[in-house]
Amino acid sequence: MGGVEVVGVIRSARYYAGGDAAAQRPYLTFARWFRDKSSNFHVSRLVPARFRGIFRVLVDFLKEVQTRRTFAIISHPDAGKTTLTEKLLLYGGAVQLAGSVTARKNQRATTSDWMELEKKRGISISSTVLQFDYAGYHLNLLDTPGHKDFSEDTYRVLTAVDSVVMVIDAAKGIEPQTRKLFEVCRQRGVPIFTFMNKCDRPMKEPLALLDELEQVLGIGAFPVNWPIGTGFEFQGVFDRQTQLMHLFERTVGGQYRAPVEIGGLHDEIIRGRLDDATFHKTVEELEMLEHAGHDWDDTAVLHDKTTPVFFGSAINNFGVQLLLDGFLKHAPAPKGRNAYVADGASDSINADGKASPPPHVGGYAAQDNPPAHVGGYVAPENPAFSGFIFKIQANMDPRHRDRIAFMRVCSGKFERDMTVHHSRSGKKVRLSSSHKLFGNERETLDEAYPGDVIGLVGHDSFGIGDTLTTDPKILYKEIPRFTPEAFAYLHNPNTAKYKQFRQGLDQLLQEGVIQALYLRDSAAKVPLLAAVGPLQFEVVQFRLESEYGAASRLEAAPWTVVRWLPVGIKEEELDALSLPTGARLAYDIGKNPVALFQNEWSANYFSETNKNCALSALPVQTARE
């Protein structure tokens, strides 16, 4: 446990003990001693008897936090992201038989792609949370959609993770969507681990792939292991850190763990399986890496300056175990979050009735030159529970027409039935139905720690981006906003199904799958759907019919650009605006006025002719959002 965590323990302990200076002296003594001997800690040596219970609770809490690893898997479509997810579950012991992405009749479907449309199309449409224990760690794995039309969901997921595994097709190298997702991770300072997949097929030279990482993405690359042979000659990998060779054997359909032989580079059993050309090429490349490659630096990895690179084949289970073990060895534990000052917030509503601590104690930490609008940094060891909702999904279980909110725990300890402050409504709510998640399966969860992702059922007032906390002064604004680029009218062809149509559309709007706009001065109130990509419309139609029994008809709309008008603009001011040909005014679901344009030129022309009306490319946020 490092110095930062120790400081958090002391701050939290001071808070629990009260403000008595004399009572706090043992905590300071403990801090100095703990820094020197944290590997062999015994509470009874220095801590007075009346404080031992507090310290045990605090140390146990931090031990729980340190075992959490929350990460997402990202890639361009068809790079093998969902396949790798399934194989990590296989090697993590979460499933006994790996699924097939194609879901053939005699094979099971992938665990992460549980939605019916995902099974039919063979692609990930919605992000999925998969939680399992492995080697003393509690893993929260989030599988994300790869297609750009569903990138909004992926970007939201990236706000809830502490690291990512970036999957690259070794034959294609870095593709457009991979580059976009990488930039999002870099902006958030998320450490990136790279898996070069499909090494058992014709692929680029490994050295060329490393060079591409450095030249295209601008990040240093350290190959943790190195492929032995490529394409159809790919036999395994050499672990550069242990100096051991791992030679694999294929299994039928890759459904079971691949048998492996492990030995030194010059061991007879290993040497006998390699032809001379493959052996000498591998030796030469390894020597080149030792002299010209990057050195291993944990700090550079955690600060997004270097990416550890693993080679393998997810479909055949080659290198998956090494990726999983290497990732857990070097990935960061849960990190804190920037909190915003919530105006007019009342005192904390901790169960023990104590007021929340001032910003310099209890896990709050000042940052170097923090942004002016940020109130402080909330560390995981902050005693106040806090978390934010990054995803909402309805009808995950067809037997129960319920709605589940995905929440990332940021600080404190979550306990089922606890009462928290809800940022959007300003009300206190009781969290009585909490669940651990595994695809579309779930089980009741009684407690959770920072880094965990939990599912909350039965709260219709919860929205994406909402903060839940026992300290109302904590307010997170983690969720990014997106500008729609595709538009279409959604008609209800069956008036007898109006209730189902309306209910289903309202639910999908709450999930953030799409936005709905309504044209100003339109005789018929037909929703105009707005989305990042047109495939989202297909998802809306499919889910309306399959989950709510409501058919729909889609009609293309002529606009490609939307801009939000100033908040508080009056109706007479809207009437006075000069609109370009084909442009229309509308309102979003929050009754904020927007302007729709056929192209960027039209939007720019509007700005030139209406200089007193500033346009915004991002949706309006309310004060509590």
pLDDT class of 2 with cuts at 50, 70, 90: very low
325 versus 20: the higher-pLDDT residue is: 325
Residue 563 pLDDT greater than 80, yes or no: yes
In the chain, the N- to C-terminal Cα span, in Å, equals 35
Phi/psi region, residue 333 (left: phi>0; alpha: psi -120 to 50; beta: rest), is: beta
Q: How far is CA 107 from each of CA 103, 121, 241, rounded to the nearest angstrom? A: 6, 16, 37
Report the interhelical angle of 3-17 vs 49-66 (nearest 10°). Answer: 140
User: What average pLDDT does the chain have?
Assistant: 81
Is residue 509 over pLDDT 60? yes
593 contacts 587 by C-beta, under 8 angstroms: yes
pLDDT tens by residue, 361-397: 233 333 333 333 446 789 898 889 999 999 888 776 6
CA 298, CA 308: separation in Å to the nearest integer?
10
pLDDT of residue 250: 84
Name the pLDDT band for 103 (thresholds 50, 70, 90): very low
Q: Give 243's pLDDT tier (boundaries 50, 70, 90).
A: very high
| 6-10, 251-255, 344-348, 510-514: least confident range | 344-348
pLDDT at 218: 93
User: Can you give the pLDDT at residue 146?
Assistant: 58
Q: Determine the average pLDDT of the residues in 386-415.
A: 85
- pLDDT higher for 341 or 231? 231
**Is residue 202 packed enough to be buried (19+ CB in 10 Å), middle (13-18) or exposed (0-12)?**
exposed
Give the span between the Cα atoms of 558 and 385, in whole angstroms. 47
pLDDT, tens only, 453-475:
999 988 888 988 999 999 998 99
pLDDT-derived band of residue 268, with 50, 70 and 90 as boundaries?
confident
pLDDT exceeds cutoff 70 at 86: yes
> Mean pLDDT over residues 354-363, rounded?
34
Identity of the amino acid at 254 = G
Nearest to 93 by CA among 44, 131, 45: 131
Side chain identity at residue 359, one-letter code = P
Q: What is the pLDDT of residue 499?
A: 92
Domain ranges of the chain: 3-66, 68-330, 337-475, 486-609
Give the sheet arrangement for strand 337-341, strand by strand: 364-365, 374-378, 337-341, 474-475
Averaged pLDDT for residues 587-601: 92
Residues 121-131, mean pLDDT to the nearest whole number: 67
CB 506 within 8 Å of CB 570: no
pLDDT at 5: 47
- Determine the pLDDT at residue 138: 95
Q: What is the pLDDT of residue 120?
A: 52
pLDDT of residue 437: 80
pLDDT recorded at residue 381: 87
**pLDDT higher at 344 or 406:** 406
In the structure, what pLDDT confidence band is assigned to residue 25 with cuts at 50, 70 and 90? low
Say which residues have a Cβ less than 8 Å from residue 126's Cβ, sequence separation at least 6: 115, 118, 145, 150, 153, 393
Q: Does residue 354 carry a pLDDT above 60? A: no
Q: What pLDDT does 208 receive?
A: 95
- Check residue 227 and give its pLDDT: 95
∠ CA 70-76-81, rounded to 5°: 50
pTM across the whole model: 0.80
Residue percentage of the chain with pLDDT more than 90: 44
Place of tokens 């992702």: 453
**What is the CATH architecture of 337-475?**
Beta Barrel (2.40)
Asked whether the predicted pLDDT for residue 285 surpasses 70, the reply is: yes
Q: Which pLDDT does position 106 carry in this prediction?
A: 37
Distance separating alpha carbons of residues 222 and 152, to the nearest angstrom? 30
**pLDDT exceeds cutoff 60 at 359:** no
- Specify the range with the lowest mean pLDDT, choosing from 93-97, 259-263, 294-298, 411-415: 93-97
Instruction: Report the 10 Å Cβ neighbour count for 401.
Output: 12
Q: Does domain 486-609 have CATH number 3.30.70.3280?
A: yes
Closest CA to 589 of 478, 492, 507, 495: 507
The CATH code that applies to domain 68-330 is: 3.40.50.300
Stretch 569-592: mean pLDDT, rounded?
92
Of the listed ranges 279-283, 479-483, 607-611, the one predicted with least confidence: 479-483
Lowest mean pLDDT of 12-16, 166-170, 484-488, 509-513, name the range: 12-16
Among 117-131, 203-217, 342-356, 397-411, whose mean pLDDT is lowest?
342-356
Please write the tens of the pLDDT for every residue from 38-85: 445 454 455 556 556 666 777 788 889 999 999 999 998 889 988 999
pLDDT band, very low/low/confident/very high, at 452 (cuts 50, 70, 90):
very high
Which of 169, 164, 176 minimizes the C-alpha distance to 216?
Answer: 176
Say how far residue 371 (Cα) sits from the centre of its chain.
23
CA–CA dist 488, 350 (Å, integer): 47
